Structure 1
Amino acid sequence: MRRRLVVHLATATAVVAAGVVAGAAPASADLVTYCIGTGGAVTVPNDLYVPPNESCALTGTIITGNVSVAAGANLVVAGGRVSGNVQVAANGYLDASNSNVGGTVTVASGGYGVYLKSAQTGAVTVRAKGSSTIDSFLFVEGSTVSGSVAANAGEIRLDQNTQVTGSVNSSGSYYTDVHDSFVDGQLSVLNSATGSVVCGSAVRGKSTFAGNLGGVQLGPNGGLDGCASGGYFGKDVSVTNTTGGVNVDDNIIDGVLTVQSNSPAAVVAANNRIRGGVVGDQAAPAAAKRSAKALTADRERAGDARATERRTGAVAEATAAGPANL
């Protein structure tokens, strides 16, 4: 493994000379810093590129350009700042804590995932899985997304007072959960494989849940999670064509709640405060029982393990590669 960080002109000649697969490096005529190893509190005055299957761990580093994480590569940033956008390729991983990304974060088809903790970013996009065997994840804890979150694959979780200034639109994810967080726009969860849980959160715009398998739980005491409190929904809420159970408990809904074509019928607890009333079929309140096993807690633990394993391995690889000459 190479033990340096090198700056190359990102021309075709430089890319070939650097031994990088054609088309994998950033398509820019500006200087590009190749990162392999560890780096500290310095400023990178251009774009940064983590080559395929390499690892880069940065602490307190400022990157003035864009960042590209190539296929199979890892970038771990703590206390850093990226002025531009971040792109994560297939099987690539981004881990950012106490850091600021001024631009957008985009995960390509089959990207391994993104973990953000106490971070700030622009809009975040997780592209559809496609033919890849890897299903991405996006775990956001105590962070601010200035823009919208758009996800078409993977495990999606917003947690621990995360704020999204735009909307959250998820379609075809494995699950999409929002815990103790705020969404300033609309929330849309469509065709999720194992459903959706929204607890202790506020959504200012319209909320739509449709075609989800495994159930939808808004508030505590449902079949998916034992979370502590309900939430606030600033406009209409619609839960339709859902299998696995629908539970709506201890929420304030400043609009109409629509629950139609769900199997079984939705359970809407009496402790909800719904300004516009309920439209659709409802099951008897006695059916509102939490399952013995909190499936969402299990899937979240499994997801956290994925992030921890990749982060630990990436830092170990970067440390073994040696200090980067930034």
Structure 2
Amino acid sequence: MKILTLIATASLVATGSLVAFTGSAQAALYTTCVGDGGAVTVSNDLVVPAGKSCTLTGTKVKGTVTVEAGADLVAAGATFNGAVTVGENAYLDLTDTTVKGALTTNSAFGAHVEKSTLKAVDATEGFVYVVDSTLGGAVSSKAGELYVTGSTLNSSLTGENNQYSDVYDSTVKGALTVGGNTLGGVFCASEVYGAATYTGNADTLQIGGEGLLGSCAGASYFGGNLAVTDNTAKSVLDNAIVRGGLTATGNNPVLVVGELARVRGGVTGETAAAGASAARSAKKAAPQDRGADLAEKAAARAAEAKADAHGAGPSRL
């Protein structure tokens, strides 16, 4: 593996293999990763150059991590003390990894986080696929795909103008906001303790209960108010407890409330009872859980990244 430590500054003077600074210029010290990295400590920032691939196993990075445009970073058992930034069409894959700073992606291919601990996540375009992880800060996904399963989010979760925003078997301790998703969203066997809002979504909203977008045997819980408003999606609320009030206004078609839904507060707006024929159709239809497709997409990109990294040679960290 080729790991290079570089120094960038406005004014440099080189003597042999050493680089010195002139005046009061400040250095930006970083390590470039291309290939396979092992259980070492990188004491400064780490950069995966554009179009290159890097794998890290048991590596600790004390500074920030940057995955440049078209690059790939696959990390397992790693610790990143700083922020992580993922560029255009770049890919990030984390397993059993701790990120102590914020994760930011901008027009990335995607980010797959599994059995990991992160703080805040801010993603614009690309997918965010979170599995069996803990996220300490706010999670926001815009204009991409959002899928969270088996995870605990200690703050808010927002999915805006995505293709879809799906939450399975997870706990959201802050607010949940799903707005403007072209393929709607799923909330299944999960809990949210802040206010929950679904607005301006199209296609299908499956809020608790069984449905066409996935099998959902467990009940869901909304600790605050639930607002389902101004959606053109086919929206169903079922097998869920809403501790606060339910607002269902401006939906076309109107929100369908199943027989297993319990709203403790008042109901504002228009709802409809689930028909027997609709319930039978949902049970007969094959579930279309979008997680399987997303897992396949992530696995394919990760496999390519690992092959490219291995081809770059063994670690010389």
Q: Whole-Å Cα distance in 2 between the matches of residues 13 and 197 of structure 1?
A: 54
User: How far did 1:13 drift?
Assistant: 7.6
1:292 is aligned to 2:290: no
- What whole-Å deviation, never above 9, does each CA across 1:242-263 have from its counterpart, x for those lacking one? 2231111111111011122222
Write out the 4+ residue segments of structure 1 that deviate beyond 3 Å after TM superposition: none
Bigger CA drift: 70-79 or 284-293?
A: 284-293
Q: Whole-Å Cα distance in 2 between the matches of residues 281 and 252 of structure 1?
A: 18
Q: Which residue of 1 aligns with 2:301?
A: 310
Q: Which residue of 2 aligns with 1:29?
A: 27
Q: Whole-Å Cα distance in 2 between the matches of residues 94 and 256 of structure 1?
A: 39
How do 1:82-121 residues align onto structure 2 when only pairs under 5 Å count?
82-108=80-106, 110-121=107-118
1:148 is aligned to 2:146: no
Q: Whole-Å Cα distance in 2 between the matches of residues 311 and 252 of structure 1?
A: 39
Q: Which residue of 2 aligns with 1:133?
A: none
Q: Whole-Å Cα distance in 2 between the matches of residues 227 and 271 of structure 1?
A: 13
User: How far did 1:152 drift?
Assistant: 1.1
- What whole-Å deviation, never above 9, does each CA across 1:249-300 have from its counterpart, x for those lacking one? 11111101112222222110122221103222222321444172323x1x32
Of 227, 235, 241 in structure 1, the residue corresponding to residue 224 of structure 2 is 235
Q: Which residue of 2 aligns with 1:190?
A: 179
**Structure 2 SS opposite 1:283:** strand
1:165 is aligned to 2:154: yes
Contact residue 69 and residue 89 of structure 2 kept, 8 A: yes
User: How far did 1:118 drift?
Assistant: 0.4
TM-score, normalised relative to structure 1: 0.88
**Structure 2 SS opposite 1:263:** coil
Of 235, 240, 247 in structure 2, the residue corresponding to residue 246 of structure 1 is 235
User: How far did 1:216 drift?
Assistant: 1.1
Contact residue 99 and residue 118 of structure 1 kept, 8 A: yes
Bigger CA drift: 57-66 or 257-266?
A: 257-266
**Structure 1 SS opposite 2:286:** coil
User: How far did 1:96 drift?
Assistant: 0.5
Give the number of aligned pairs: 300
For the pair shown, the structure with the greater C-alpha radius of gyration is: 2
**Structure 2 counterpart of 1:154, one-letter code:** G
Contact residue 30 and residue 46 of structure 1 kept, 8 A: no
Q: Which residue of 2 aligns with 1:7?
A: 5
Q: Structure 1: which 5+ runs fail to align? A: 15-27, 130-135
Contact residue 209 and residue 240 of structure 2 kept, 8 A: no
Q: Whole-Å Cα distance in 1 between the matches of residues 266 and 228 of structure 2?
A: 14
Higher strand residue share: 2
Q: Which residue of 1 aligns with 2:122?
A: 125
Q: Which residue of 1 aligns with 2:15?
A: none
Identity %: 39
Of 42, 45, 62 in structure 2, the residue corresponding to residue 44 of structure 1 is 42
Q: Whole-Å Cα distance in 1 between the matches of residues 58 and 198 of structure 2?
A: 40
Q: Which residue of 1 aligns with 2:20?
A: none
User: How far did 1:12 drift?
Assistant: 5.8
Q: Which residue of 2 aligns with 1:21?
A: none
Contact residue 211 and residue 287 of structure 2 kept, 8 A: no
User: How far did 1:176 drift?
Assistant: 0.4
User: How far did 1:32 drift?
Assistant: 0.4
Q: Whole-Å Cα distance in 1 between the matches of residues 57 and 257 of structure 2?
A: 48
Of 42, 55, 58 in structure 1, the residue corresponding to residue 56 of structure 2 is 58
User: How far did 1:30 drift?
Assistant: 3.1
Q: Whole-Å Cα distance in 2 between the matches of residues 33 and 12 of structure 1?
A: 18
User: How far did 1:223 drift?
Assistant: 3.4
Of 238, 252, 256 in structure 2, the residue corresponding to residue 267 of structure 1 is 256
Q: Whole-Å Cα distance in 2 between the matches of residues 227 and 13 of structure 1?
A: 61
User: How far did 1:318 drift?
Assistant: 0.3
1:79 is aligned to 2:77: yes
**Structure 2 SS opposite 1:36:** strand
CA RMSD of aligned residues (A): 1.5
TM-score, normalised relative to structure 2: 0.91
- What whole-Å deviation, never above 9, does each CA across 1:293-319 have from its counterpart, x for those lacking one? 323x1x322211110111000001000
**Structure 1 SS opposite 2:216:** coil
Residues 12 and 56 from structure 1, CA distance in 2 versus in 1: closer, same or farther, beyond 3 angstroms? farther
Contact residue 251 and residue 272 of structure 1 kept, 8 A: yes
